[in-house]
Structure 1
Amino acid sequence: MKIIVSGGGTGGHIYPAVTIIRALQKKVDALEVLYVGTSKGLEADIVPKEGFPFKTVDLQGFKRSLSPANFLRAFKAIKGVIKAAGIVRDFKPDVVIGTGGYVCGPVLMAASLMGIPTLIQEQNVVPGITNKILSNFVSRIATGAIEANKHFPQDKVIFTGNPIRDEVVNTQREPGYSAFELDPAKKTVLVSGGSRGARSINRAMVGVLKHFAGSKRVQILHATGKAEHEDILRRIAEAGVDLDKFSNLKVYPYLYNMPQAMAVADLAVFRAGATGLAELTAKGIPAVLIPYPYAAENHQEFNARAIEKAGAAKVILNKDISAEILISTIEELLADDRHLQEMAERSHSIGHPEAAATIAEMIIELARNKQK
């Protein structure tokens, strides 16, 4: 069985793609994979490290206003479609899968026009424009949120939940405590603004870190994002906090071992990207969610509100974020063990750790139907 997988730009599109491939590898003995992304997205770094053959299509999203840059992007888009069609024609896949990002458009459109079975995996409550357009052409649509189903043709869409890595589900607490030199007797707050970091969260966290420095009951594991790291370290030092003196404060540029970090988290402070939320709910981690306000279609707020409605999170809008609000919210949630446990149970109840296996079966079925 041969598949092309396309997804790019952010970790939220790439990691679900990698997870789906890994799930297929468990079910298909002779699986040939080709990953198609862009040369400038995170996929250019992540995918080769995962060991998958990788080809690129140069493509950029259009600006939402009239701009001379759009003419150049339109020219690149035409070239991208031609190149994508060539890649699909040469590889001859049985199924083509898209997990989001502009690069999916030409790849899945080319496959669909060639009569090759196609599947898109939509992670968010409100779909992006690329997947809305593709939904009219693809064979199947797997959604990560039941609320997204109404945006797609009902004869194609199946709610599966979002795919998450096996290690997120399977990693236990003890290795996490050891990896980060944390105290099992303390409550652990995991803070992350996503793979690129979040300036508003990071700057509010300076005051939060100062507040909890030396705490006997709370420890904080904070991923700043690489671009923000040096600036935040400087701000923390200017606030009078010497991180070397407080073992309960851990500040990293990036958490490559996020599954271990999630394993020890009693509370998370996160953006509301679909992949992060899928992992939090699969682990049953209560959360304070601060949606990225400039996400397409404001999809992060819709994602966050769905988790809040389920009783698994508290939402703070980005415009309202401050050290004082974060401190009071964290203190309030950590002070009530019973309520925190209820949030954890509700979070776990809406998680879908089996999503990748379900999507893999959908892909296998599409390949079988093609061969008939």
Structure 2
Amino acid sequence: MKIVVSGGGTGGHIYPALALIREIQKEHKDAEFLYIGTLTGLESKIVPREGIDFQSIHITGFKRKLSFDNIKTVYRFLKGVRDSKKILNQFNPDIVIGTGGYVCGPVVYAASKLRIPTIVHEQNSVPGLTNKFLSRYVDKVAICFEEAKEFFPPSKVVFTGNPRASEVIGKDGIKGRLSVGLSTTKPAVLIFGGSRGARPINEAVVKGLPDFSEKPYQVLYVTGDVHFEAVSKEVELVGNPQNVVIKPFIHNMPEVLAGIDLVVSRAGATSIAEITSLGIPSILIPSPYVTNNHQEKNARSLSDHGAASVLLEKELTGHSLVQHIDQILLDSKILHDMKQKSKKMGVPDSASRLFKVMTELVNTKRK
């Protein structure tokens, strides 16, 4: 099968696409892939490093307010469609899948006009503009949250989960703990604010360090590369408790997650897919700076099912953070109950589910 994948802008659109590609490659060695992105997005650096063929088009996103730039974007979209058709005709794919970001717009739209089977994958509970637009033209819309159903044509929607979930299954949690200097005997909480970190979370953790020093659990605190130096200076002033391990970044996150009892993080779709597939309880601190406040809606989806606790950024302090952790990690009944409910929400076979939908669609179109 020849597959075109398009997704870009943020890691939340790119990493699920790469997870899907890797999962398909395991079972289908003869599958061919082409990734279409932009030269300005993260995908232009990440995808080629994975050894996947990459081609680019030039496109920008729409402004949500009235702007002259939107006229330019319409022109770029139309040119992007023409460029995409050329690339698609040369590669001759069996199917095209978009995983989000504005680059998907012209690519997936062009594929639909060429009568190539098409799918968009929506990771969040509230979809972005591009996927809403494309849902009118694609054959299927794959979702990760039941709440996303209402935004798309019902006949096209299929629940698959996020392919990233498949990549964290079967990892060695003990090895993961040892790789970052954690004890294998004490309960462990992982605190992080995404790949680049989050200043409000960092500030709360630093203020909570004196309290953490007295706890019977251990903390793995990931600052994000850009914040590590500043955080290190603040930690020097208040002291670094022996039960708190501080890192700028975790390169083997799936392995480390396998050994964690509780996660404190933002409510990005990829993080949620990973922690629920492993059945890890979480304290979610949604970013208030994202489109349509979708992170809070992602977080509420978990908290409504008892799999997570939501701590809004405006309520985040060192004290409230430690209090939330204590309420879960120091109560074995609550911890066990949340683990079970988190596990129920996980979709560990999400990549294979999505590929099955793709295969069925290709076979139907061929008939």
- Fold agreement, TM-score > 0.5: yes
Aligned-residue offset at 1:121: 0.9
How many angstroms does 1:127 deviate by? Answer: 1.2
Q: Which residue of 1 aligns with 2:137?
A: 137
Q: Is the 8 A contact 1:186 1:216 kept in 2?
A: no
- How far residue 250 of structure 1 moved from its aligned partner, in angstroms, is 2.0
CA distance in 2, matches of 1:118, 1:162: 17
Change (3 A) 1:220 1:173: same
| Per-residue CA distance 1:268-323 (angstroms, 9 max, x = gap) | 10111111101111111111001111211111111100100110111011222111
TM-score (normalised: structure 1): 0.93
Correspondence 1:287-306 to 2 at 5 A? 287-306=282-301
The answer on whether the counterparts of 1:307 and 1:313 sit within 8 Å (CA) in structure 2 is yes
SS for the counterpart of 2:182 is coil
1:362 has 2:343 as partner: no
What corresponds to 1:276 in structure 2?
A: 271
Gaps of 5+ in 2: none
Offset, 1:351: 0.6
Alignment of 1:141-220 (within 5 A): 141-213=141-213, 215=214, 217-220=216-219
Distance across 1 between alignment mates of 2:217 and 2:63: 44
Taking the TM superposition and a 5 Å limit, the aligned residue runs for 1:1-372 are 1-213=1-213, 215=214, 217-238=216-237, 240-241=238-239, 243=240, 246-372=241-367
TM-score normalised by the chain length of structure 2: 0.95
* Cα drift, residue 216 of structure 1: 5.9
Q: Deviations over 1:230-282 (max 9, x none)?
A: 222222223x22x4xx4422222221110122112111101111111011111
Deviation of the 1:58 alpha carbon: 2.7
| Aligned-partner Cα distance in 2 for 1:116–1:208 | 54
Identity of matched residues, % = 46
Count matched residues.
Answer: 367
Question: Does the CA contact (< 8 Å) of 1:179 and 1:260 recur in 2?
Answer: no
Amino acid in the other structure paired with 2:225: K
The Cα shift of 1:226 comes to 2.0
Equivalent position amino acid for 1:254 in 2: F
Relative to 1, partners in 2 of residues 1:58 and 1:267: Cα closer, same or farther, differing over 3 Å?
same
1:347 deviates by 0.4
Q: SS state of the match for residue 169, structure 2?
A: helix
The Cα shift of 1:55 comes to 1.4
Long gaps (5+) in structure 1:
none
Q: Is contact 2:182-2:220 (8 Å) kept?
A: no
Q: Does the residue aligned with 1:281 lie in a helix, a strand or coil?
A: helix
User: Please, what is the CA RMSD of the aligned residues?
Assistant: 1.8
Shift of 1:199: 1.6
The amino acid across from 1:3 in the alignment is I
Check the 8 A contact 1:162/1:355 in 2, yes or no: yes
CA–CA separation in structure 1 for the residues paired with 2:152 and 2:218: 43
Structure 1 residue identity aligned to 2:216: R
Tell me how far apart the structure 1 counterparts of residues 134 and 336 of structure 2 sit (CA, whole Å).
41
Deviation of 1:77 after TM superposition, in Å, equals 3.6
Structure 1 residue 113, shift from structure 2 partner = 0.7
State how far apart, in whole Å, the 2-side matches of 1:120 and 1:278 are: 17
1:106 partner letter: P
Q: How far apart, CA to CA, are the structure 1 residues paired with 2:69 and 2:100?
A: 23
Q: Are residues 18 and 320 of structure 1, via their aligned partners in 2, closer, same or farther at CA, if it must alter by over 3 Å?
A: same
Once structures 1 and 2 are overlaid, which stretch shifts more, 170-179 or 346-355?
Answer: 170-179
